[in-house]
Amino acid sequence: MKIVALSKEEFDEFAYKHKYSTYYQTSAYAETSRYEGLNTFYIGFVEKGTLIGVTLFLHKTFYLYYKYAYAPRGFLIDYTDPKLVRNVTMGLVKLLKKQHYAFIKIDPPIICSEKDRHGNVIYFSNTVNSILATLKRNGYKHQGFNKYFENYKPRLNAFINLQNDLKVIYSKVDYQSKSIIDKSVEAGVEIYLDPTGNIDELYKFTSIKNKNRKKRYYNGLYNNFSKNNAIDIFFINVNTNKYINNMKMLYDKEASINEELANEVQDFEITGMEKQDVISRKMESDRALNFYKNELVYSTNLSKEYPDYVTIGAAFTIKHNNGVELVIDSYLDEYKKFNPRYVLIWELIKKYKSEGFMYINLNAVVGDFNKENLGKYSDLNNIKLSFNASVIEYIGEFDLIINDHIYEKFLEKTGKKIK
Protein backbone atom coordinates (compact mmCIF):
# COMPACT_ATOMS: atom_id res chain seq x y z
CA MET A 1 0.00 0.00 0.00
CA LYS A 2 1.19 3.52 -0.83
CA ILE A 3 0.33 6.82 0.81
CA VAL A 4 -0.05 9.71 -1.65
CA ALA A 5 -0.78 13.39 -1.41
CA LEU A 6 -4.16 14.44 -2.85
CA SER A 7 -5.52 17.66 -4.20
CA LYS A 8 -8.65 18.89 -2.47
CA GLU A 9 -10.65 18.03 -5.58
CA GLU A 10 -9.39 14.44 -5.55
CA PHE A 11 -10.05 14.20 -1.85
CA ASP A 12 -13.62 15.57 -2.03
CA GLU A 13 -14.57 13.30 -4.91
CA PHE A 14 -13.70 10.19 -2.89
CA ALA A 15 -14.75 11.45 0.53
CA TYR A 16 -18.23 12.57 -0.47
CA LYS A 17 -19.22 9.05 -1.52
CA HIS A 18 -17.72 7.16 1.42
CA LYS A 19 -19.75 5.30 4.03
CA TYR A 20 -18.33 7.45 6.83
CA SER A 21 -18.58 10.73 4.93
CA THR A 22 -19.21 13.77 7.14
CA TYR A 23 -18.82 17.50 6.62
CA TYR A 24 -15.77 17.31 8.89
CA GLN A 25 -13.96 15.35 6.18
CA THR A 26 -14.39 17.93 3.41
CA SER A 27 -12.13 20.55 1.89
CA ALA A 28 -14.65 23.17 3.05
CA TYR A 29 -14.03 22.17 6.67
CA ALA A 30 -10.28 22.04 6.05
CA GLU A 31 -10.29 25.59 4.70
CA THR A 32 -12.41 26.71 7.66
CA SER A 33 -9.92 25.19 10.12
CA ARG A 34 -7.24 27.45 8.71
CA TYR A 35 -9.16 30.37 10.22
CA GLU A 36 -8.34 28.83 13.62
CA GLY A 37 -4.65 28.59 12.91
CA LEU A 38 -4.62 24.91 11.98
CA ASN A 39 -2.68 23.57 9.03
CA THR A 40 -4.19 20.93 6.75
CA PHE A 41 -3.24 18.26 4.26
CA TYR A 42 -5.04 15.53 2.32
CA ILE A 43 -3.68 12.05 1.78
CA GLY A 44 -4.89 8.91 0.05
CA PHE A 45 -4.24 5.23 0.56
CA VAL A 46 -3.55 3.43 -2.70
CA GLU A 47 -3.44 -0.30 -3.27
CA LYS A 48 -2.65 -1.83 -6.66
CA GLY A 49 -3.25 1.53 -8.30
CA THR A 50 -6.67 2.01 -6.71
CA LEU A 51 -7.57 4.65 -4.15
CA ILE A 52 -9.09 2.70 -1.24
CA GLY A 53 -9.20 5.36 1.48
CA VAL A 54 -8.51 9.02 2.23
CA THR A 55 -8.23 11.36 5.15
CA LEU A 56 -8.02 15.04 5.90
CA PHE A 57 -5.53 15.90 8.63
CA LEU A 58 -5.55 19.02 10.73
CA HIS A 59 -2.23 19.60 12.43
CA LYS A 60 -0.49 22.01 14.73
CA THR A 61 2.84 22.39 16.52
CA PHE A 62 2.30 22.19 20.30
CA TYR A 63 5.75 21.57 21.87
CA LEU A 64 9.09 22.68 20.45
CA TYR A 65 8.89 21.43 16.84
CA TYR A 66 6.57 18.50 17.60
CA LYS A 67 3.11 18.32 16.11
CA TYR A 68 -0.08 16.35 16.41
CA ALA A 69 -2.34 15.31 13.54
CA TYR A 70 -6.10 15.10 13.93
CA ALA A 71 -8.36 13.36 11.42
CA PRO A 72 -11.76 14.86 12.31
CA ARG A 73 -14.28 12.03 12.46
CA GLY A 74 -11.56 9.60 11.46
CA PHE A 75 -10.01 8.14 8.32
CA LEU A 76 -12.35 7.25 5.49
CA ILE A 77 -11.41 3.59 5.26
CA ASP A 78 -12.99 0.18 5.81
CA TYR A 79 -12.37 -0.42 9.52
CA THR A 80 -13.70 -3.99 9.26
CA ASP A 81 -10.62 -4.97 7.21
CA PRO A 82 -7.83 -5.72 9.75
CA LYS A 83 -5.16 -5.88 7.06
CA LEU A 84 -6.12 -2.46 5.71
CA VAL A 85 -6.14 -0.93 9.19
CA ARG A 86 -2.69 -2.39 9.86
CA ASN A 87 -1.24 -1.16 6.57
CA VAL A 88 -2.73 2.32 6.95
CA THR A 89 -1.41 2.57 10.52
CA MET A 90 2.11 1.38 9.68
CA GLY A 91 2.28 3.69 6.69
CA LEU A 92 1.14 6.73 8.66
CA VAL A 93 3.50 6.09 11.56
CA LYS A 94 6.43 5.70 9.19
CA LEU A 95 5.50 8.86 7.28
CA LEU A 96 4.61 11.14 10.19
CA LYS A 97 7.40 10.06 12.51
CA LYS A 98 9.91 11.54 10.08
CA GLN A 99 7.98 14.83 10.22
CA HIS A 100 8.05 15.05 14.05
CA TYR A 101 4.46 14.13 14.77
CA ALA A 102 3.92 12.91 18.34
CA PHE A 103 0.52 11.31 17.85
CA ILE A 104 -2.53 11.00 15.60
CA LYS A 105 -6.07 11.47 16.93
CA ILE A 106 -9.15 9.96 15.28
CA ASP A 107 -12.83 9.76 16.26
CA PRO A 108 -14.56 7.80 13.49
CA PRO A 109 -18.38 7.78 13.23
CA ILE A 110 -18.51 4.02 13.73
CA ILE A 111 -21.84 3.26 15.35
CA CYS A 112 -21.84 1.22 18.56
CA SER A 113 -25.56 1.39 19.21
CA GLU A 114 -28.78 3.24 18.64
CA LYS A 115 -31.07 3.97 21.59
CA ASP A 116 -34.57 5.34 21.83
CA ARG A 117 -35.45 8.49 23.76
CA HIS A 118 -35.68 6.47 26.99
CA GLY A 119 -32.26 4.85 26.60
CA ASN A 120 -33.48 1.45 25.43
CA VAL A 121 -31.14 -0.17 22.90
CA ILE A 122 -32.88 -0.64 19.55
CA TYR A 123 -29.75 -1.54 17.58
CA PHE A 124 -26.31 -2.82 18.48
CA SER A 125 -23.51 -3.18 15.94
CA ASN A 126 -22.23 -6.73 15.47
CA THR A 127 -18.91 -5.43 14.15
CA VAL A 128 -17.99 -2.71 16.65
CA ASN A 129 -16.21 -5.04 19.09
CA SER A 130 -14.00 -6.52 16.38
CA ILE A 131 -13.22 -3.00 15.04
CA LEU A 132 -12.33 -1.86 18.55
CA ALA A 133 -10.05 -4.88 18.99
CA THR A 134 -8.37 -4.23 15.62
CA LEU A 135 -7.66 -0.60 16.48
CA LYS A 136 -6.29 -1.46 19.91
CA ARG A 137 -4.14 -4.23 18.44
CA ASN A 138 -2.59 -1.66 16.10
CA GLY A 139 -1.67 0.71 18.92
CA TYR A 140 -4.69 3.01 19.06
CA LYS A 141 -5.38 4.10 22.63
CA HIS A 142 -9.14 4.27 23.20
CA GLN A 143 -10.28 7.24 25.29
CA GLY A 144 -13.22 5.31 26.68
CA PHE A 145 -16.99 5.09 26.34
CA ASN A 146 -17.55 8.43 28.03
CA LYS A 147 -21.04 9.84 28.51
CA TYR A 148 -20.33 13.56 28.51
CA PHE A 149 -18.11 15.94 26.51
CA GLU A 150 -14.60 14.74 27.20
CA ASN A 151 -13.75 14.30 23.51
CA TYR A 152 -13.06 16.68 20.63
CA LYS A 153 -16.43 15.75 19.13
CA PRO A 154 -19.48 14.47 21.00
CA ARG A 155 -19.69 10.69 21.22
CA LEU A 156 -23.49 10.65 21.42
CA ASN A 157 -25.76 12.52 19.02
CA ALA A 158 -29.54 12.89 18.76
CA PHE A 159 -30.94 12.09 15.30
CA ILE A 160 -34.42 12.73 13.94
CA ASN A 161 -35.55 10.49 11.09
CA LEU A 162 -37.24 12.56 8.37
CA GLN A 163 -38.26 9.63 6.16
CA ASN A 164 -41.72 9.28 7.70
CA ASP A 165 -44.71 11.42 6.79
CA LEU A 166 -44.69 14.78 8.61
CA LYS A 167 -47.93 13.90 10.42
CA VAL A 168 -46.31 10.70 11.70
CA ILE A 169 -43.24 12.63 12.87
CA TYR A 170 -45.46 15.13 14.67
CA SER A 171 -47.55 12.39 16.29
CA LYS A 172 -44.43 11.05 18.01
CA VAL A 173 -43.39 14.40 19.48
CA ASP A 174 -43.94 14.55 23.24
CA TYR A 175 -47.34 16.06 24.12
CA GLN A 176 -45.79 18.61 26.46
CA SER A 177 -43.40 19.75 23.71
CA LYS A 178 -46.31 20.28 21.32
CA SER A 179 -48.01 22.43 23.93
CA ILE A 180 -44.83 24.45 24.49
CA ILE A 181 -44.45 25.02 20.74
CA ASP A 182 -48.05 26.26 20.46
CA LYS A 183 -47.61 28.65 23.39
CA SER A 184 -44.27 29.91 22.07
CA VAL A 185 -45.79 30.61 18.64
CA GLU A 186 -48.68 32.43 20.36
CA ALA A 187 -46.02 34.53 22.11
CA GLY A 188 -44.64 35.58 18.74
CA VAL A 189 -41.60 33.28 18.41
CA GLU A 190 -40.60 33.06 14.76
CA ILE A 191 -37.68 31.46 12.93
CA TYR A 192 -36.03 33.59 10.26
CA LEU A 193 -33.75 32.10 7.60
CA ASP A 194 -31.06 34.68 6.93
CA PRO A 195 -30.08 34.94 3.25
CA THR A 196 -27.30 37.49 3.79
CA GLY A 197 -24.73 35.62 5.89
CA ASN A 198 -24.93 38.04 8.80
CA ILE A 199 -22.00 36.65 10.79
CA ASP A 200 -21.78 39.69 13.06
CA GLU A 201 -25.30 39.06 14.36
CA LEU A 202 -24.75 35.30 14.52
CA TYR A 203 -21.59 35.72 16.56
CA LYS A 204 -23.42 37.75 19.22
CA PHE A 205 -25.19 34.53 20.13
CA THR A 206 -22.67 31.78 19.36
CA SER A 207 -20.05 33.56 21.48
CA ILE A 208 -22.37 33.14 24.47
CA LYS A 209 -22.30 29.36 24.15
CA ASN A 210 -18.76 28.84 22.90
CA LYS A 211 -16.37 31.54 24.02
CA ASN A 212 -13.37 29.76 22.48
CA ARG A 213 -14.60 30.16 18.89
CA LYS A 214 -13.58 33.45 17.31
CA LYS A 215 -15.69 35.27 14.77
CA ARG A 216 -13.22 34.44 12.02
CA TYR A 217 -14.15 30.74 12.43
CA TYR A 218 -17.80 31.46 11.61
CA ASN A 219 -16.72 33.67 8.73
CA GLY A 220 -14.72 30.73 7.48
CA LEU A 221 -17.63 28.33 7.81
CA TYR A 222 -19.93 30.61 5.88
CA ASN A 223 -17.41 31.49 3.19
CA ASN A 224 -16.53 27.85 2.52
CA PHE A 225 -19.85 26.03 2.93
CA SER A 226 -22.01 28.68 1.27
CA LYS A 227 -20.19 28.00 -2.02
CA ASN A 228 -22.29 24.84 -2.34
CA ASN A 229 -25.33 26.23 -0.54
CA ALA A 230 -24.48 23.87 2.32
CA ILE A 231 -25.00 26.23 5.25
CA ASP A 232 -28.14 27.88 6.63
CA ILE A 233 -28.16 30.62 9.26
CA PHE A 234 -31.26 31.17 11.37
CA PHE A 235 -32.30 33.90 13.76
CA ILE A 236 -34.95 33.32 16.38
CA ASN A 237 -37.12 36.37 16.84
CA VAL A 238 -40.05 37.42 18.96
CA ASN A 239 -42.53 39.33 16.80
CA THR A 240 -43.62 41.88 19.39
CA ASN A 241 -46.71 42.99 17.45
CA LYS A 242 -47.93 39.40 17.20
CA TYR A 243 -47.04 38.83 20.84
CA ILE A 244 -49.03 41.75 22.21
CA ASN A 245 -52.01 41.11 19.91
CA ASN A 246 -52.20 37.42 20.80
CA MET A 247 -51.89 38.11 24.52
CA LYS A 248 -54.69 40.69 24.30
CA MET A 249 -56.88 38.23 22.39
CA LEU A 250 -56.18 35.44 24.90
CA TYR A 251 -56.74 37.78 27.85
CA ASP A 252 -60.09 38.95 26.47
CA LYS A 253 -61.14 35.37 25.72
CA GLU A 254 -60.22 34.19 29.22
CA ALA A 255 -61.89 37.23 30.80
CA SER A 256 -65.13 36.26 29.08
CA ILE A 257 -64.82 32.67 30.32
CA ASN A 258 -63.97 33.89 33.80
CA GLU A 259 -67.06 36.09 33.93
CA GLU A 260 -69.32 33.21 32.92
CA LEU A 261 -67.77 30.98 35.59
CA ALA A 262 -68.19 33.75 38.20
CA ASN A 263 -71.90 33.86 37.38
CA GLU A 264 -72.13 30.06 37.70
CA VAL A 265 -70.44 30.19 41.11
CA GLN A 266 -73.17 32.60 42.25
CA ASP A 267 -75.94 30.39 40.82
CA PHE A 268 -77.58 28.73 43.84
CA GLU A 269 -79.27 26.16 41.64
CA ILE A 270 -75.87 24.56 41.00
CA THR A 271 -74.95 22.37 43.94
CA GLY A 272 -72.85 19.41 45.06
CA MET A 273 -70.13 18.03 42.81
CA GLU A 274 -71.24 20.25 39.95
CA LYS A 275 -70.61 23.30 42.15
CA GLN A 276 -67.16 22.01 43.11
CA ASP A 277 -66.34 21.51 39.44
CA VAL A 278 -67.38 25.08 38.63
CA ILE A 279 -65.31 26.45 41.52
CA SER A 280 -62.27 24.45 40.34
CA ARG A 281 -62.67 25.72 36.81
CA LYS A 282 -63.07 29.28 38.13
CA MET A 283 -59.85 29.01 40.13
CA GLU A 284 -58.04 27.63 37.07
CA SER A 285 -59.42 30.48 34.98
CA ASP A 286 -58.30 32.99 37.62
CA ARG A 287 -54.76 31.67 37.29
CA ALA A 288 -54.92 31.81 33.49
CA LEU A 289 -56.35 35.32 33.57
CA ASN A 290 -53.58 36.48 35.90
CA PHE A 291 -50.99 34.84 33.61
CA TYR A 292 -52.34 36.60 30.50
CA LYS A 293 -52.55 39.87 32.40
CA ASN A 294 -48.85 39.63 33.30
CA GLU A 295 -48.03 38.59 29.75
CA LEU A 296 -49.96 41.57 28.41
CA VAL A 297 -47.98 43.93 30.64
CA TYR A 298 -44.69 42.26 29.66
CA SER A 299 -45.50 42.23 25.94
CA THR A 300 -46.56 45.88 26.06
CA ASN A 301 -43.27 46.92 27.63
CA LEU A 302 -41.30 44.72 25.22
CA SER A 303 -43.15 46.21 22.28
CA LYS A 304 -42.25 49.72 23.43
CA GLU A 305 -38.57 48.79 23.46
CA TYR A 306 -38.73 46.70 20.26
CA PRO A 307 -41.63 47.94 18.09
CA ASP A 308 -41.30 45.17 15.48
CA TYR A 309 -39.22 42.27 16.80
CA VAL A 310 -36.41 41.33 19.13
CA THR A 311 -33.82 38.69 18.20
CA ILE A 312 -33.40 36.26 21.09
CA GLY A 313 -31.29 33.52 19.53
CA ALA A 314 -29.41 32.21 16.52
CA ALA A 315 -28.41 28.91 14.97
CA PHE A 316 -26.84 27.45 11.89
CA THR A 317 -26.95 24.12 10.13
CA ILE A 318 -24.69 22.39 7.64
CA LYS A 319 -26.16 20.18 4.92
CA HIS A 320 -24.12 17.21 3.79
CA ASN A 321 -25.20 14.39 1.51
CA ASN A 322 -28.73 13.41 2.60
CA GLY A 323 -28.56 14.83 6.11
CA VAL A 324 -28.45 18.08 8.06
CA GLU A 325 -26.51 18.85 11.22
CA LEU A 326 -27.55 21.49 13.73
CA VAL A 327 -24.04 22.74 14.47
CA ILE A 328 -24.91 25.23 17.19
CA ASP A 329 -27.90 27.09 18.58
CA SER A 330 -27.69 29.71 21.31
CA TYR A 331 -30.14 32.00 23.09
CA LEU A 332 -30.24 34.94 25.46
CA ASP A 333 -31.01 33.73 28.98
CA GLU A 334 -33.29 36.68 29.68
CA TYR A 335 -35.76 35.33 27.09
CA LYS A 336 -35.68 31.71 28.23
CA LYS A 337 -39.41 31.88 29.01
CA PHE A 338 -40.15 31.79 25.26
CA ASN A 339 -38.70 28.25 24.93
CA PRO A 340 -37.21 29.10 21.52
CA ARG A 341 -35.33 25.81 21.01
CA TYR A 342 -38.59 23.87 20.75
CA VAL A 343 -39.82 26.09 17.94
CA LEU A 344 -36.45 26.01 16.17
CA ILE A 345 -36.29 22.20 16.12
CA TRP A 346 -39.85 21.84 14.84
CA GLU A 347 -39.28 24.43 12.10
CA LEU A 348 -36.06 22.67 11.07
CA ILE A 349 -37.95 19.38 10.85
CA LYS A 350 -40.59 20.91 8.57
CA LYS A 351 -38.09 22.75 6.40
CA TYR A 352 -35.64 19.92 5.78
CA LYS A 353 -38.36 17.29 5.46
CA SER A 354 -39.89 19.38 2.64
CA GLU A 355 -36.46 19.64 0.98
CA GLY A 356 -36.02 15.87 0.87
CA PHE A 357 -33.35 15.34 3.53
CA MET A 358 -33.43 12.00 5.33
CA TYR A 359 -32.38 13.06 8.83
CA ILE A 360 -31.39 15.90 11.13
CA ASN A 361 -28.53 15.47 13.57
CA LEU A 362 -29.43 17.68 16.54
CA ASN A 363 -25.86 17.17 17.79
CA ALA A 364 -24.65 16.33 21.28
CA VAL A 365 -26.61 14.71 24.07
CA VAL A 366 -25.51 13.18 27.35
CA GLY A 367 -25.34 9.40 27.59
CA ASP A 368 -27.13 9.26 30.94
CA PHE A 369 -30.88 8.76 30.57
CA ASN A 370 -31.68 9.15 34.27
CA LYS A 371 -33.23 12.62 34.42
CA GLU A 372 -32.18 13.02 38.04
CA ASN A 373 -28.50 12.77 37.03
CA LEU A 374 -28.56 15.27 34.17
CA GLY A 375 -28.10 18.47 36.17
CA LYS A 376 -27.10 21.33 33.89
CA TYR A 377 -27.59 19.09 30.85
CA SER A 378 -31.26 18.51 31.63
CA ASP A 379 -32.63 20.87 28.98
CA LEU A 380 -30.09 19.67 26.42
CA ASN A 381 -31.30 16.07 26.61
CA ASN A 382 -34.95 16.56 27.43
CA ILE A 383 -35.72 19.00 24.63
CA LYS A 384 -33.94 17.09 21.87
CA LEU A 385 -35.21 13.68 22.91
CA SER A 386 -38.79 14.94 23.31
CA PHE A 387 -38.95 15.07 19.50
CA ASN A 388 -38.64 11.27 19.45
CA ALA A 389 -34.98 11.56 18.51
CA SER A 390 -32.90 8.43 18.66
CA VAL A 391 -29.42 8.53 20.20
CA ILE A 392 -26.55 7.31 18.06
CA GLU A 393 -23.56 6.20 20.11
CA TYR A 394 -20.22 6.32 18.29
CA ILE A 395 -17.17 4.21 19.11
CA GLY A 396 -15.28 7.17 20.56
CA GLU A 397 -11.87 8.79 20.32
CA PHE A 398 -8.47 7.15 19.80
CA ASP A 399 -4.88 8.35 20.02
CA LEU A 400 -2.20 6.61 17.97
CA ILE A 401 1.00 7.46 19.84
CA ILE A 402 4.14 7.93 17.76
CA ASN A 403 6.40 9.47 20.41
CA ASP A 404 5.53 8.46 24.00
CA HIS A 405 7.58 11.15 25.74
CA ILE A 406 6.21 14.03 23.68
CA TYR A 407 2.68 12.62 23.93
CA GLU A 408 2.99 12.87 27.71
CA LYS A 409 4.00 16.50 27.28
CA PHE A 410 0.80 17.09 25.31
CA LEU A 411 -1.28 15.53 28.08
CA GLU A 412 0.46 17.71 30.64
CA LYS A 413 -0.24 20.82 28.60
CA THR A 414 -3.92 19.95 28.15
CA GLY A 415 -4.44 18.70 31.69
CA LYS A 416 -5.45 15.21 30.61
CA LYS A 417 -4.39 11.94 32.18
CA ILE A 418 -2.80 9.09 30.31
CA LYS A 419 -5.36 6.33 29.78
**Sheet of 323-331: strands edge to edge?**
121-124, 111-115, 390-394, 156-161, 359-364, 323-331, 309-320, 231-239, 189-194
Phi, psi angle pair for 7, to nearest 5°: -75, 165
Confidence of residue 418 (pLDDT cuts 50, 70, 90): very low
- pLDDT tens digit string along 290-300? 999 999 999 99
- What is the pLDDT confidence band of residue 271, given thresholds at 50, 70 and 90? confident
Of the candidates 312, 15, 351, 19, the one whose C-alpha atom is nearest the C-alpha of residue 160 is 351
CA dist list (Å): 308 to 98, 142, 238, 301: 61, 53, 9, 12
Asked whether residue 402 carries a pLDDT value surpassing 50, the answer given is yes
Q: Where in 21-139 does DSSP place strands (E)? A: 39-47, 50-63, 66-71, 101-106, 111-115, 121-124
User: What pLDDT does 252 receive?
Assistant: 97
Q: Is the pLDDT of residue 419 over 50?
A: no
- The string of pLDDT tens digits covering residues 117-150 is 999 999 999 999 999 999 999 999 999 999 888 8
Task: Please give the backbone phi and psi of residue 160, each rounded to the nearest 5 degrees, phi first.
Answer: -110, 125
Q: How much of the chain exceeds pLDDT 70, in percent?
A: 99
Please tell us whether the domain made up of 158-240+308-394 is placed in CATH 3.30.70.20. Answer: no
pLDDT-based confidence at residue 370 (cuts at 50, 70, 90): confident
Confidence of residue 416 (pLDDT cuts 50, 70, 90): low
CB of 42 closer than 8 Å to CB of 67 = no
Per-residue pLDDT of 341-357, as tens digits, reads: 999 999 999 999 999 99
Assign domain 2-107+397-414 to its CATH architecture.
3-Layer(aba) Sandwich (3.40)
**DSSP notation for 94-124:** HHHHHTTEEEEEE----EEEEE-TTS-EEEE
Nearest-Å Rg of the Cα atoms of the chain is: 26
Tell me the pTM.
Answer: 0.93
Over the stretch 192-236, which tens digit does the pLDDT of each residue have?
999 999 999 999 999 999 888 899 999 999 999 999 999 999 999
